[in-house]
A and B are shown apart, each in its own frame.
Chain A
Protein backbone atom coordinates (compact mmCIF):
# COMPACT_ATOMS: atom_id res chain seq x y z
CA UNK A 1 0.00 0.00 0.00
CA UNK A 2 1.13 3.52 -0.74
CA UNK A 3 2.02 5.58 2.28
CA UNK A 4 0.42 8.98 2.78
CA UNK A 5 3.71 10.61 1.76
CA UNK A 6 3.91 8.51 -1.38
CA UNK A 7 0.37 9.50 -2.28
CA UNK A 8 1.30 13.14 -1.88
CA UNK A 9 4.31 12.55 -4.06
CA UNK A 10 2.05 10.96 -6.64
CA UNK A 11 -0.28 13.95 -6.55
CA UNK A 12 2.68 16.17 -7.32
CA UNK A 13 3.87 13.95 -10.15
CA UNK A 14 0.46 14.02 -11.79
CA UNK A 15 0.59 17.81 -11.83
CA UNK A 16 3.63 17.72 -14.11
CA UNK A 17 1.65 16.26 -17.00
CA UNK A 18 -1.36 17.26 -19.05
CA UNK A 19 -2.96 13.83 -18.53
CA UNK A 20 -3.18 11.55 -15.53
CA UNK A 21 -2.03 8.59 -17.54
CA UNK A 22 1.29 10.24 -18.39
CA UNK A 23 2.23 9.85 -14.74
CA UNK A 24 2.22 6.08 -15.14
CA UNK A 25 5.97 5.51 -15.46
CA UNK A 26 6.89 7.65 -12.45
CA UNK A 27 3.95 6.15 -10.55
CA UNK A 28 5.28 2.66 -11.21
CA UNK A 29 8.74 3.73 -10.06
CA UNK A 30 7.21 5.01 -6.87
CA UNK A 31 5.16 1.84 -6.44
CA UNK A 32 8.28 -0.24 -6.85
CA UNK A 33 9.86 1.70 -4.00
CA UNK A 34 6.74 1.26 -1.90
CA UNK A 35 6.48 -2.45 -2.59
CA UNK A 36 9.95 -3.49 -1.61
CA UNK A 37 11.69 -3.30 -4.97
CA UNK A 38 9.17 -5.02 -7.16
CA UNK A 39 5.67 -4.69 -8.55
CA UNK A 40 3.25 -7.34 -7.33
CA UNK A 41 -0.15 -7.27 -9.09
CA UNK A 42 -1.61 -5.55 -6.04
CA UNK A 43 0.72 -2.63 -6.65
CA UNK A 44 -0.39 -2.47 -10.28
CA UNK A 45 -4.00 -2.43 -9.18
CA UNK A 46 -3.31 0.39 -6.79
CA UNK A 47 -1.60 2.45 -9.48
CA UNK A 48 -4.42 1.67 -11.91
CA UNK A 49 -6.97 2.85 -9.39
CA UNK A 50 -5.09 6.03 -8.73
CA UNK A 51 -4.59 6.88 -12.40
CA UNK A 52 -8.08 5.67 -13.38
CA UNK A 53 -6.72 3.18 -15.89
CA UNK A 54 -7.69 -0.41 -16.64
CA UNK A 55 -5.34 -2.60 -14.58
CA UNK A 56 -4.62 -4.76 -17.63
CA UNK A 57 -3.14 -1.75 -19.38
CA UNK A 58 -1.04 -0.89 -16.35
CA UNK A 59 0.25 -4.45 -16.33
CA UNK A 60 0.93 -4.18 -20.06
CA UNK A 61 3.08 -1.12 -19.47
CA UNK A 62 4.81 -2.51 -16.39
CA UNK A 63 5.81 -5.67 -18.24
CA UNK A 64 7.13 -3.74 -21.23
CA UNK A 65 9.98 -2.10 -19.33
CA UNK A 66 12.76 -4.28 -17.97
CA UNK A 67 13.48 -2.18 -14.90
CA UNK A 68 10.09 -2.79 -13.35
CA UNK A 69 10.56 -6.04 -11.52
CA UNK A 70 7.76 -8.50 -11.88
CA UNK A 71 9.26 -10.74 -9.25
CA UNK A 72 10.89 -10.08 -5.95
CA UNK A 73 14.59 -9.57 -6.50
CA UNK A 74 17.62 -9.35 -4.27
CA UNK A 75 18.40 -6.35 -2.11
CA UNK A 76 21.28 -5.58 -4.44
CA UNK A 77 20.67 -6.02 -8.13
CA UNK A 78 23.98 -6.50 -9.91
CA UNK A 79 23.54 -5.84 -13.61
CA UNK A 80 26.59 -6.44 -15.74
CA UNK A 81 26.53 -5.03 -19.23
CA UNK A 82 27.03 -7.83 -21.73
CA UNK A 83 26.52 -5.85 -24.90
CA UNK A 84 29.30 -5.77 -27.49
CA UNK A 85 31.53 -2.99 -26.16
CA UNK A 86 31.70 -4.66 -22.77
CA UNK A 87 31.69 -8.17 -24.23
CA UNK A 88 34.95 -7.58 -26.07
CA UNK A 89 36.47 -6.15 -22.90
CA UNK A 90 35.70 -9.24 -20.84
CA UNK A 91 32.14 -8.82 -19.53
CA UNK A 92 31.23 -12.49 -19.81
CA UNK A 93 34.14 -13.53 -17.62
CA UNK A 94 33.09 -10.96 -15.04
CA UNK A 95 29.56 -12.32 -14.95
CA UNK A 96 30.94 -15.81 -14.41
CA UNK A 97 33.26 -14.50 -11.74
CA UNK A 98 30.49 -12.76 -9.82
CA UNK A 99 28.22 -15.75 -10.26
CA UNK A 100 30.84 -18.06 -8.83
CA UNK A 101 31.49 -15.72 -5.95
CA UNK A 102 27.81 -15.55 -5.07
CA UNK A 103 26.98 -19.10 -6.02
CA UNK A 104 24.28 -18.10 -8.47
CA UNK A 105 23.83 -17.94 -12.22
CA UNK A 106 22.61 -15.16 -14.50
CA UNK A 107 19.06 -14.21 -13.62
CA UNK A 108 19.21 -15.82 -10.18
CA UNK A 109 18.97 -14.52 -6.65
CA UNK A 110 21.03 -15.69 -3.69
CA UNK A 111 19.07 -17.77 -1.16
CA UNK A 112 19.45 -15.05 1.47
CA UNK A 113 17.73 -12.62 -0.92
CA UNK A 114 20.66 -10.28 -0.91
CA UNK A 115 21.90 -10.39 -4.50
CA UNK A 116 20.36 -10.81 -7.89
CA UNK A 117 22.71 -11.15 -10.83
CA UNK A 118 21.67 -10.18 -14.35
CA UNK A 119 23.22 -9.52 -17.68
CA UNK A 120 22.21 -6.10 -18.94
CA UNK A 121 22.02 -4.54 -22.36
CA UNK A 122 24.22 -1.53 -23.12
CA UNK A 123 24.34 0.66 -20.02
CA UNK A 124 25.86 3.59 -21.90
CA UNK A 125 29.33 3.42 -20.44
CA UNK A 126 31.02 1.97 -23.51
CA UNK A 127 34.09 4.16 -23.19
CA UNK A 128 34.60 2.73 -19.73
CA UNK A 129 33.91 -0.90 -20.49
CA UNK A 130 33.34 -3.26 -18.92
CA UNK A 131 30.77 -1.81 -16.57
CA UNK A 132 28.01 -2.79 -14.26
CA UNK A 133 25.42 -1.21 -12.06
CA UNK A 134 24.24 -2.08 -8.58
CA UNK A 135 21.00 -0.30 -7.87
CA UNK A 136 21.45 3.20 -9.24
CA UNK A 137 25.24 3.18 -9.00
CA UNK A 138 27.57 2.60 -11.93
CA UNK A 139 30.92 0.81 -11.69
CA UNK A 140 33.19 1.29 -14.69
CA UNK A 141 36.54 0.23 -16.11
CA UNK A 142 36.08 -3.02 -14.26
CA UNK A 143 38.80 -5.57 -13.74
CA UNK A 144 38.52 -8.93 -11.97
CA UNK A 145 40.20 -7.39 -8.93
CA UNK A 146 37.87 -4.40 -8.83
CA UNK A 147 34.84 -6.62 -9.15
CA UNK A 148 36.01 -8.81 -6.29
CA UNK A 149 36.43 -5.80 -4.07
CA UNK A 150 33.04 -4.35 -4.99
CA UNK A 151 31.20 -7.59 -4.32
CA UNK A 152 33.01 -8.00 -1.00
CA UNK A 153 32.02 -4.47 -0.04
CA UNK A 154 28.37 -5.11 -0.85
CA UNK A 155 28.42 -8.39 1.01
CA UNK A 156 29.16 -6.40 4.14
CA UNK A 157 26.24 -4.01 3.55
Chain B
Protein backbone atom coordinates (compact mmCIF):
# COMPACT_ATOMS: atom_id res chain seq x y z
CA UNK B 1 0.00 0.00 0.00
CA UNK B 2 1.26 3.41 -0.95
CA UNK B 3 1.13 6.37 1.36
CA UNK B 4 -2.12 8.29 1.07
CA UNK B 5 -1.81 11.84 2.39
CA UNK B 6 -5.21 13.05 3.52
CA UNK B 7 -5.60 16.64 2.49
CA UNK B 8 -9.30 17.37 2.11
CA UNK B 9 -10.21 14.63 4.55
CA UNK B 10 -7.48 15.58 7.02
CA UNK B 11 -9.99 16.53 9.70
CA UNK B 12 -12.84 14.42 8.44
CA UNK B 13 -13.32 12.68 11.73
CA UNK B 14 -13.06 15.75 13.90
CA UNK B 15 -16.30 16.19 15.72
CA UNK B 16 -18.31 19.30 14.78
CA UNK B 17 -15.89 20.14 12.01
CA UNK B 18 -18.82 21.85 10.32
CA UNK B 19 -18.79 24.42 13.11
CA UNK B 20 -16.66 27.46 12.35
CA UNK B 21 -14.97 27.54 15.76
CA UNK B 22 -13.92 23.92 15.47
CA UNK B 23 -12.94 24.48 11.87
CA UNK B 24 -10.79 27.45 12.81
CA UNK B 25 -8.97 25.38 15.40
CA UNK B 26 -7.89 23.11 12.56
CA UNK B 27 -6.16 25.57 10.24
CA UNK B 28 -9.56 26.98 9.27
CA UNK B 29 -9.63 30.32 7.45
CA UNK B 30 -5.84 30.64 7.67
CA UNK B 31 -5.65 30.19 3.92
CA UNK B 32 -8.38 32.75 3.37
CA UNK B 33 -6.51 35.29 5.49
CA UNK B 34 -3.40 34.53 3.50
CA UNK B 35 -5.19 34.96 0.19
CA UNK B 36 -6.68 38.26 1.29
CA UNK B 37 -3.19 39.58 1.86
CA UNK B 38 -1.96 38.35 -1.50
CA UNK B 39 -2.37 39.94 -4.87
CA UNK B 40 -5.04 38.05 -6.86
CA UNK B 41 -2.48 36.94 -9.44
CA UNK B 42 -0.23 35.59 -6.71
CA UNK B 43 -3.09 33.36 -5.58
CA UNK B 44 -3.41 32.08 -9.12
CA UNK B 45 0.35 31.44 -9.22
CA UNK B 46 0.06 29.33 -6.10
CA UNK B 47 -2.72 27.28 -7.69
CA UNK B 48 -0.64 26.98 -10.84
CA UNK B 49 2.23 25.57 -8.83
CA UNK B 50 -0.09 22.99 -7.30
CA UNK B 51 -1.11 21.67 -10.73
CA UNK B 52 -4.76 21.53 -9.56
CA UNK B 53 -7.18 20.42 -12.24
CA UNK B 54 -10.97 20.60 -12.20
CA UNK B 55 -12.43 17.82 -10.09
CA UNK B 56 -15.90 17.94 -11.68
CA UNK B 57 -15.13 15.74 -14.63
CA UNK B 58 -13.35 17.62 -17.39
CA UNK B 59 -10.02 18.00 -15.56
CA UNK B 60 -9.24 21.44 -16.94
CA UNK B 61 -6.28 23.16 -15.21
CA UNK B 62 -7.79 25.48 -12.64
CA UNK B 63 -5.23 28.26 -12.88
CA UNK B 64 -5.77 28.63 -16.64
CA UNK B 65 -9.49 29.05 -16.05
CA UNK B 66 -8.89 31.62 -13.30
CA UNK B 67 -6.32 33.47 -15.37
CA UNK B 68 -8.84 33.77 -18.20
CA UNK B 69 -10.88 36.28 -16.24
CA UNK B 70 -10.09 39.77 -17.55
CA UNK B 71 -7.90 41.63 -15.11
CA UNK B 72 -9.51 44.96 -15.77
CA UNK B 73 -13.14 44.94 -16.64
CA UNK B 74 -16.02 47.22 -15.95
CA UNK B 75 -18.43 44.34 -15.47
CA UNK B 76 -18.82 42.33 -12.28
CA UNK B 77 -17.08 38.95 -12.13
CA UNK B 78 -19.03 35.98 -10.90
CA UNK B 79 -17.82 32.90 -9.11
CA UNK B 80 -20.26 30.04 -9.52
CA UNK B 81 -19.80 26.80 -7.63
CA UNK B 82 -21.11 23.69 -9.30
CA UNK B 83 -22.61 21.70 -6.47
CA UNK B 84 -25.04 19.96 -8.78
CA UNK B 85 -23.49 16.61 -8.09
CA UNK B 86 -25.61 14.25 -10.13
CA UNK B 87 -23.31 11.91 -11.99
CA UNK B 88 -24.41 8.42 -10.97
CA UNK B 89 -21.68 6.93 -8.83
CA UNK B 90 -20.54 10.25 -7.39
CA UNK B 91 -21.35 11.33 -3.83
CA UNK B 92 -18.26 13.19 -2.69
CA UNK B 93 -19.48 16.79 -2.83
CA UNK B 94 -22.45 15.87 -0.67
CA UNK B 95 -20.15 14.67 2.09
CA UNK B 96 -17.93 17.73 1.69
CA UNK B 97 -20.91 20.05 2.06
CA UNK B 98 -22.52 18.10 4.88
CA UNK B 99 -19.45 17.56 7.00
CA UNK B 100 -16.92 20.17 5.97
CA UNK B 101 -18.85 23.10 4.49
CA UNK B 102 -16.27 25.63 5.66
CA UNK B 103 -13.70 24.10 3.33
CA UNK B 104 -16.03 25.14 0.52
CA UNK B 105 -16.75 28.59 1.93
CA UNK B 106 -13.07 29.24 2.52
CA UNK B 107 -12.27 28.00 -0.96
CA UNK B 108 -14.83 30.41 -2.35
CA UNK B 109 -13.11 33.31 -0.62
CA UNK B 110 -9.77 32.28 -2.13
CA UNK B 111 -11.17 31.73 -5.59
CA UNK B 112 -13.14 34.96 -5.52
CA UNK B 113 -10.03 36.82 -4.45
CA UNK B 114 -8.08 35.28 -7.30
CA UNK B 115 -10.62 36.21 -9.96
CA UNK B 116 -11.53 39.59 -8.42
CA UNK B 117 -15.11 38.59 -7.84
CA UNK B 118 -17.40 40.05 -5.23
CA UNK B 119 -20.29 37.75 -5.76
CA UNK B 120 -20.45 34.00 -5.57
CA UNK B 121 -23.36 31.64 -6.15
CA UNK B 122 -23.25 28.08 -4.93
CA UNK B 123 -25.58 26.09 -7.18
CA UNK B 124 -26.68 23.04 -5.18
CA UNK B 125 -28.82 20.35 -6.71
CA UNK B 126 -32.40 20.44 -5.50
CA UNK B 127 -32.29 17.06 -3.80
CA UNK B 128 -29.40 18.23 -1.59
CA UNK B 129 -31.59 20.13 0.82
CA UNK B 130 -29.58 18.94 3.81
CA UNK B 131 -26.21 19.91 2.28
CA UNK B 132 -27.89 23.17 1.27
CA UNK B 133 -28.80 23.87 4.88
CA UNK B 134 -25.31 22.91 5.99
CA UNK B 135 -23.68 25.31 3.53
CA UNK B 136 -26.12 28.08 4.40
CA UNK B 137 -25.26 27.69 8.05
CA UNK B 138 -21.55 27.80 7.28
CA UNK B 139 -22.00 30.93 5.18
CA UNK B 140 -23.88 32.60 8.02
CA UNK B 141 -21.12 31.68 10.46
CA UNK B 142 -18.56 33.09 8.07
CA UNK B 143 -20.51 36.35 7.83
CA UNK B 144 -20.71 36.46 11.60
CA UNK B 145 -16.97 36.02 11.91
CA UNK B 146 -16.26 38.64 9.28
CA UNK B 147 -15.01 36.29 6.59
CA UNK B 148 -17.80 37.33 4.25
CA UNK B 149 -19.46 40.65 3.53
CA UNK B 150 -17.84 44.04 3.21
CA UNK B 151 -14.15 44.67 3.82
CA UNK B 152 -13.32 41.13 4.88
CA UNK B 153 -10.83 41.07 7.75
CA UNK B 154 -9.91 44.66 6.94
CA UNK B 155 -8.56 43.67 3.53
CA UNK B 156 -10.82 45.99 1.57
CA UNK B 157 -12.14 42.95 -0.28
CA UNK B 158 -15.90 42.33 -0.39
CA UNK B 159 -17.61 39.03 -1.02
CA UNK B 160 -21.19 37.83 -0.81
CA UNK B 161 -22.07 34.17 -1.23
CA UNK B 162 -25.57 33.02 -2.09
CA UNK B 163 -26.91 29.50 -2.19
CA UNK B 164 -29.02 28.76 -5.26
CA UNK B 165 -30.98 25.53 -5.11
CA UNK B 166 -31.61 23.55 -8.27
CA UNK B 167 -34.83 21.66 -8.69
CA UNK B 168 -34.13 18.28 -10.19
CA UNK B 169 -32.10 18.10 -13.39
CA UNK B 170 -28.90 16.19 -14.12
CA UNK B 171 -28.22 18.43 -17.09
CA UNK B 172 -27.70 21.38 -14.76
CA UNK B 173 -24.40 19.85 -13.74
CA UNK B 174 -23.20 20.82 -17.20
CA UNK B 175 -21.46 24.14 -16.74
CA UNK B 176 -23.45 26.15 -19.28
CA UNK B 177 -26.80 24.59 -18.39
CA UNK B 178 -26.04 25.40 -14.78
CA UNK B 179 -25.58 29.02 -15.78
CA UNK B 180 -28.95 28.96 -17.59
CA UNK B 181 -30.56 27.52 -14.50
CA UNK B 182 -28.93 30.09 -12.24
CA UNK B 183 -30.40 32.80 -14.44
CA UNK B 184 -33.89 31.39 -14.04
CA UNK B 185 -34.12 29.53 -17.30
CA UNK B 186 -34.71 25.96 -18.31
CA UNK B 187 -31.56 24.00 -17.60
CA UNK B 188 -30.42 23.96 -21.18
CA UNK B 189 -26.84 24.33 -22.34
CA UNK B 190 -25.58 27.59 -23.84
CA UNK B 191 -23.38 28.27 -26.84
CA UNK B 192 -19.70 27.56 -26.39
CA UNK B 193 -16.61 28.36 -28.46
CA UNK B 194 -16.41 28.69 -31.40
CA UNK B 195 -20.05 29.78 -31.32
CA UNK B 196 -19.71 32.06 -28.32
CA UNK B 197 -17.04 33.38 -25.97
CA UNK B 198 -15.93 31.32 -22.98
CA UNK B 199 -17.70 31.95 -19.68
CA UNK B 200 -14.57 33.70 -18.41
CA UNK B 201 -15.43 36.42 -20.94
CA UNK B 202 -19.19 36.13 -21.04
CA UNK B 203 -20.88 33.78 -18.61
CA UNK B 204 -23.82 34.53 -16.37
CA UNK B 205 -25.51 37.85 -17.14
CA UNK B 206 -22.97 38.37 -19.94
CA UNK B 207 -20.25 38.88 -17.36
CA UNK B 208 -16.93 37.10 -16.75
CA UNK B 209 -17.73 33.93 -14.88
CA UNK B 210 -15.85 31.03 -13.35
CA UNK B 211 -17.70 27.80 -12.75
CA UNK B 212 -15.82 25.45 -10.45
CA UNK B 213 -16.70 22.16 -8.86
CA UNK B 214 -17.12 22.00 -5.07
CA UNK B 215 -14.09 19.78 -4.61
CA UNK B 216 -11.88 21.95 -6.82
CA UNK B 217 -12.62 25.06 -4.82
CA UNK B 218 -12.48 23.22 -1.49
CA UNK B 219 -8.93 22.13 -2.36
CA UNK B 220 -7.80 25.73 -2.64
CA UNK B 221 -7.57 26.22 1.12
CA UNK B 222 -5.32 23.22 1.82
CA UNK B 223 -3.19 24.19 -1.18
CA UNK B 224 -2.60 27.67 0.19
CA UNK B 225 -1.91 26.24 3.63
CA UNK B 226 0.67 23.74 2.48
CA UNK B 227 1.95 25.76 -0.47
CA UNK B 228 1.22 25.07 -4.10
CA UNK B 229 4.62 23.57 -4.77
CA UNK B 230 4.26 21.06 -1.94
CA UNK B 231 0.83 20.01 -3.22
CA UNK B 232 2.29 19.67 -6.71
CA UNK B 233 4.80 17.14 -5.45
CA UNK B 234 2.01 14.69 -4.75
CA UNK B 235 1.09 12.48 -7.69
CA UNK B 236 2.88 12.39 -10.99
CA UNK B 237 2.82 13.72 -14.52
CA UNK B 238 -0.09 16.04 -15.06
CA UNK B 239 -2.26 14.29 -12.47
CA UNK B 240 -1.17 16.02 -9.32
CA UNK B 241 -2.49 16.03 -5.80
CA UNK B 242 -5.18 13.98 -4.23
CA UNK B 243 -8.73 13.45 -5.32
CA UNK B 244 -11.91 12.25 -3.66
CA UNK B 245 -13.32 9.02 -5.01
CA UNK B 246 -16.74 7.61 -4.29
CA UNK B 247 -16.36 3.87 -4.21
CA UNK B 248 -19.67 2.11 -4.59
CA UNK B 249 -21.31 -1.03 -5.84
CA UNK B 250 -20.13 -4.47 -4.85
CA UNK B 251 -17.43 -3.68 -2.31
CA UNK B 252 -17.41 -4.38 1.39
CA UNK B 253 -16.73 -0.82 2.52
CA UNK B 254 -18.31 1.57 0.03
CA UNK B 255 -17.45 5.14 0.98
CA UNK B 256 -15.77 8.33 -0.12
CA UNK B 257 -11.98 8.02 -0.07
CA UNK B 258 -9.18 10.41 -0.72
CA UNK B 259 -6.40 9.00 -2.87
CA UNK B 260 -3.36 10.39 -4.55
CA UNK B 261 -4.04 10.65 -8.25
CA UNK B 262 -2.41 7.67 -9.93
CA UNK B 263 -3.12 5.20 -7.15
CA UNK B 264 -3.64 1.75 -8.68
CA UNK B 265 -7.30 0.79 -8.86
CA UNK B 266 -6.59 -2.47 -7.11
CA UNK B 267 -5.32 -0.58 -4.08
CA UNK B 268 -8.49 1.48 -3.97
CA UNK B 269 -10.54 -1.69 -4.22
CA UNK B 270 -8.63 -3.21 -1.36
CA UNK B 271 -8.98 -0.09 0.78
CA UNK B 272 -12.71 -0.31 0.16
CA UNK B 273 -12.71 -3.76 1.65
CA UNK B 274 -12.44 -5.78 -1.54
CA UNK B 275 -15.30 -7.39 -3.47
CA UNK B 276 -18.54 -7.66 -1.53
CA UNK B 277 -18.71 -10.99 0.24
CA UNK B 278 -15.73 -12.10 -1.84
CA UNK B 279 -17.86 -12.63 -4.91
CA UNK B 280 -15.73 -12.21 -8.05
CA UNK B 281 -16.08 -8.88 -9.83
CA UNK B 282 -17.09 -8.68 -13.47
CA UNK B 283 -16.39 -5.06 -14.36
CA UNK B 284 -16.03 -1.58 -13.00
CA UNK B 285 -16.78 1.99 -14.03
CA UNK B 286 -13.87 4.30 -13.23
CA UNK B 287 -15.31 7.80 -13.11
CA UNK B 288 -19.09 7.94 -12.88
CA UNK B 289 -21.76 6.44 -15.09
CA UNK B 290 -20.76 8.40 -18.19
CA UNK B 291 -17.28 6.88 -18.37
CA UNK B 292 -16.83 3.64 -20.32
CA UNK B 293 -16.49 0.55 -18.16
CA UNK B 294 -13.50 -1.80 -17.84
CA UNK B 295 -13.60 -5.54 -17.21
CA UNK B 296 -12.38 -6.34 -13.70
CA UNK B 297 -9.30 -8.11 -15.01
CA UNK B 298 -5.76 -7.74 -13.72
CA UNK B 299 -4.90 -5.61 -16.71
CA UNK B 300 -7.40 -2.95 -15.79
CA UNK B 301 -7.30 -3.31 -11.99
CA UNK B 302 -3.61 -2.59 -12.09
CA UNK B 303 -4.01 0.68 -13.94
CA UNK B 304 -3.16 3.82 -12.01
CA UNK B 305 -6.29 5.93 -11.61
CA UNK B 306 -5.39 9.26 -13.15
CA UNK B 307 -6.56 11.53 -15.94
CA UNK B 308 -4.05 10.39 -18.56
CA UNK B 309 -4.14 6.63 -17.97
CA UNK B 310 -7.91 6.49 -18.07
CA UNK B 311 -7.95 8.51 -21.28
CA UNK B 312 -5.27 6.35 -22.87
CA UNK B 313 -7.32 3.24 -22.12
CA UNK B 314 -10.51 4.57 -23.61
CA UNK B 315 -12.26 5.85 -20.52
CA UNK B 316 -12.07 8.86 -18.23
CA UNK B 317 -11.34 9.81 -14.67
CA UNK B 318 -14.57 11.79 -14.70
CA UNK B 319 -15.93 12.89 -11.37
CA UNK B 320 -14.30 10.12 -9.39
CA UNK B 321 -17.25 7.75 -9.14
CA UNK B 322 -15.62 4.35 -9.01
CA UNK B 323 -18.25 1.61 -9.19
CA UNK B 324 -17.56 -2.10 -8.93
CA UNK B 325 -19.93 -4.77 -10.16
CA UNK B 326 -19.83 -8.48 -9.47
CA UNK B 327 -20.62 -11.46 -11.64
CA UNK B 328 -24.29 -11.29 -10.86
CA UNK B 329 -24.77 -8.02 -12.76
CA UNK B 330 -26.02 -8.21 -16.33
CA UNK B 331 -24.27 -5.57 -18.41
CA UNK B 332 -27.23 -5.08 -20.78
CA UNK B 333 -29.59 -4.75 -17.80
CA UNK B 334 -27.34 -2.16 -16.20
CA UNK B 335 -27.04 -0.28 -19.48
CA UNK B 336 -30.81 -0.38 -19.91
CA UNK B 337 -31.22 1.37 -16.59
CA UNK B 338 -28.55 3.89 -17.50
CA UNK B 339 -30.21 4.63 -20.83
CA UNK B 340 -33.48 5.33 -19.07
CA UNK B 341 -31.56 7.73 -16.89
CA UNK B 342 -29.97 9.61 -19.79
CA UNK B 343 -33.21 9.72 -21.76
CA UNK B 344 -34.93 11.07 -18.64
CA UNK B 345 -32.27 13.71 -18.16
CA UNK B 346 -31.75 14.79 -21.76
CA UNK B 347 -32.90 18.39 -21.88
CA UNK B 348 -34.33 17.87 -25.36
CA UNK B 349 -32.66 20.84 -26.94
CA UNK B 350 -30.69 19.05 -29.62
CA UNK B 351 -31.72 16.28 -31.95
CA UNK B 352 -29.00 13.64 -31.42
CA UNK B 353 -29.31 13.57 -27.64
CA UNK B 354 -33.10 13.88 -27.44
CA UNK B 355 -33.83 11.29 -30.11
CA UNK B 356 -30.70 9.21 -29.66
CA UNK B 357 -31.11 8.55 -25.93
CA UNK B 358 -34.75 7.73 -26.52
CA UNK B 359 -33.90 5.30 -29.30
CA UNK B 360 -31.09 3.66 -27.31
CA UNK B 361 -33.56 3.18 -24.48
CA UNK B 362 -36.21 1.64 -26.70
CA UNK B 363 -33.78 -0.82 -28.27
CA UNK B 364 -32.44 -1.81 -24.86
CA UNK B 365 -35.95 -2.34 -23.55
CA UNK B 366 -36.78 -4.49 -26.54
CA UNK B 367 -33.62 -6.56 -26.23
CA UNK B 368 -34.28 -7.09 -22.53
CA UNK B 369 -37.86 -8.13 -23.34
CA UNK B 370 -36.59 -10.77 -25.73
CA UNK B 371 -37.38 -8.85 -28.92
CA UNK B 372 -33.81 -8.13 -29.91
CA UNK B 373 -32.55 -8.63 -33.44
CA UNK B 374 -28.97 -9.42 -34.34
CA UNK B 375 -28.62 -6.15 -36.22
CA UNK B 376 -29.67 -4.21 -33.12
CA UNK B 377 -26.21 -4.46 -31.64
CA UNK B 378 -24.51 -2.73 -34.54
CA UNK B 379 -27.43 -0.36 -34.66
CA UNK B 380 -26.76 0.60 -31.05
CA UNK B 381 -23.15 1.33 -31.93
CA UNK B 382 -24.19 3.31 -34.97
CA UNK B 383 -26.61 5.39 -32.93
CA UNK B 384 -23.82 6.07 -30.44
CA UNK B 385 -21.58 7.19 -33.30
CA UNK B 386 -24.32 9.48 -34.56
CA UNK B 387 -24.68 11.06 -31.13
CA UNK B 388 -20.99 11.25 -30.25
CA UNK B 389 -19.47 14.65 -30.91
CA UNK B 390 -22.66 15.92 -32.53
CA UNK B 391 -24.85 16.80 -29.61
CA UNK B 392 -25.06 20.34 -28.28
CA UNK B 393 -23.39 19.47 -25.00
CA UNK B 394 -21.64 16.51 -23.46
CA UNK B 395 -24.78 14.78 -22.20
CA UNK B 396 -25.22 13.08 -25.54
CA UNK B 397 -21.66 11.77 -25.41
CA UNK B 398 -22.20 10.76 -21.80
CA UNK B 399 -25.04 8.51 -22.88
CA UNK B 400 -23.21 7.08 -25.87
CA UNK B 401 -19.87 6.30 -24.22
CA UNK B 402 -21.08 3.74 -21.69
CA UNK B 403 -22.76 1.74 -24.47
CA UNK B 404 -19.62 1.84 -26.55
CA UNK B 405 -17.64 0.59 -23.54
CA UNK B 406 -20.19 -2.10 -22.74
CA UNK B 407 -20.24 -3.42 -26.28
CA UNK B 408 -16.48 -3.34 -26.54
CA UNK B 409 -16.08 -5.80 -23.70
CA UNK B 410 -19.45 -7.45 -23.20
CA UNK B 411 -20.99 -7.73 -26.64
CA UNK B 412 -21.53 -11.39 -25.98
CA UNK B 413 -23.94 -10.60 -23.17
CA UNK B 414 -26.09 -8.66 -25.60
CA UNK B 415 -25.85 -11.44 -28.17
CA UNK B 416 -26.91 -13.99 -25.60
CA UNK B 417 -30.15 -12.05 -25.09
CA UNK B 418 -31.11 -12.22 -28.74
CA UNK B 419 -33.29 -15.20 -29.56
CA UNK B 420 -31.91 -17.54 -32.23
CA UNK B 421 -35.08 -17.29 -34.23
CA UNK B 422 -34.50 -13.63 -34.67
CA UNK B 423 -33.72 -12.81 -38.23
CA UNK B 424 -33.78 -9.47 -39.87
CA UNK B 425 -37.46 -8.83 -40.03
CA UNK B 426 -37.07 -5.58 -41.82
CA UNK B 427 -34.94 -4.26 -44.58
CA UNK B 428 -31.86 -3.11 -42.89
CA UNK B 429 -28.73 -1.68 -44.33
CA UNK B 430 -25.96 0.36 -42.82
CA UNK B 431 -26.54 4.04 -43.32
CA UNK B 432 -25.29 4.72 -46.84
CA UNK B 433 -23.09 7.69 -47.41
CA UNK B 434 -24.29 10.08 -50.07
CA UNK B 435 -21.93 10.48 -52.95
CA UNK B 436 -20.05 13.78 -53.17
CB distance from A130 to the nearest CB of B (A): 10
Cα A17 to Cα B337 with chains together (Å): 38
A18 and B181 contacting across the interface, CB-CB below 8 Å:
no
A25 and B184 contacting across the interface, CB-CB below 8 Å:
yes
Is A3 interfacial (CB 8 A cutoff)?
no
CB distance from B180 to the nearest CB of A (A): 10
Cα A17 to Cα B248 with chains together (Å): 38
B321 and A138 contacting across the interface, CB-CB below 8 Å:
no
CB distance from A124 to the nearest CB of B (A): 5
Residues of A within 8 A of B338 (CB): 83-84
Residues of B within 8 A of A21 (CB): 183-185
Per the 8 Å Cβ criterion, residues 40-77 of A in contact with B are 51, 60-61, 64-68
Is B58 interfacial (CB 8 A cutoff)?
no
Residues of B within 8 A of A17 (CB): 184
CB distance from A116 to the nearest CB of B (A): 14
Per the 8 Å Cβ criterion, residues 39-75 of B in contact with A are none
Q: On chain B, which size bracket covers the interface? A: 35 or more
Is A96 interfacial (CB 8 A cutoff)?
no
CB distance from A96 to the nearest CB of B (A): 15
Q: Which of B89, B90, B289 has the most CB of A within 10 A?
A: B89
Cα A89 to Cα B326 with chains together (Å): 11
A19 and B169 contacting across the interface, CB-CB below 8 Å:
no
Cα A137 to Cα B98 with chains together (Å): 13
Q: Which of B121-129, B218-226, B368-376 contacts A (4 or more CB under 8 A)?
A: B121-129
Q: Count of A-B contacts with CB under 8 A?
A: 134
Q: Which of A89, A122, A125 contacts B341 (CB 8 A)?
A: A122
A126 and B88 contacting across the interface, CB-CB below 8 Å:
yes
A23 and B334 contacting across the interface, CB-CB below 8 Å:
no
Per the 8 Å Cβ criterion, residues 126-145 of A in contact with B are 126-129, 133, 136-138
Q: Which of B88, B91, B185 contacts A127 (CB 8 A)?
A: B91
A61 and B169 contacting across the interface, CB-CB below 8 Å:
no
CB distance from B177 to the nearest CB of A (A): 10
Which A-chain residue is minimally distant from B325 (CB atoms)? A88
B183 and A127 contacting across the interface, CB-CB below 8 Å:
no
Per the 8 Å Cβ criterion, residues 19-49 of A in contact with B are 19, 21-26, 28-29
CB distance from B285 to the nearest CB of A (A): 8
Is B182 interfacial (CB 8 A cutoff)?
yes
Residues of A within 8 A of B93 (CB): 124
Q: Which of B129, B166, B184 contacts A22 (CB 8 A)?
A: B184
Q: Which of B250-258, B298-306, B384-392 contacts A (4 or more CB under 8 A)?
A: B250-258
Q: Which of B128, B130, B254, B341 contacts A83 (CB 8 A)?
A: B341
Q: Which of B247, B250, B289, B344 contacts A88 (CB 8 A)?
A: B250
Residues of B within 8 A of A122 (CB): 86-90, 170, 289, 341
Given known A25-B164, A133-B127, contact A84–B334 (CB-CB < 8 A): yes
Is A148 interfacial (CB 8 A cutoff)?
no
Is A156 interfacial (CB 8 A cutoff)?
no
A123 and B127 contacting across the interface, CB-CB below 8 Å:
yes
Chain B contacts to A: CB under 8 angstroms: 76, 85-91, 93-94, 125-130, 162, 164-170, 181-187, 205, 246-250, 254-256, 289, 321, 323, 325, 329, 334, 337-338, 341, 344-345, 347
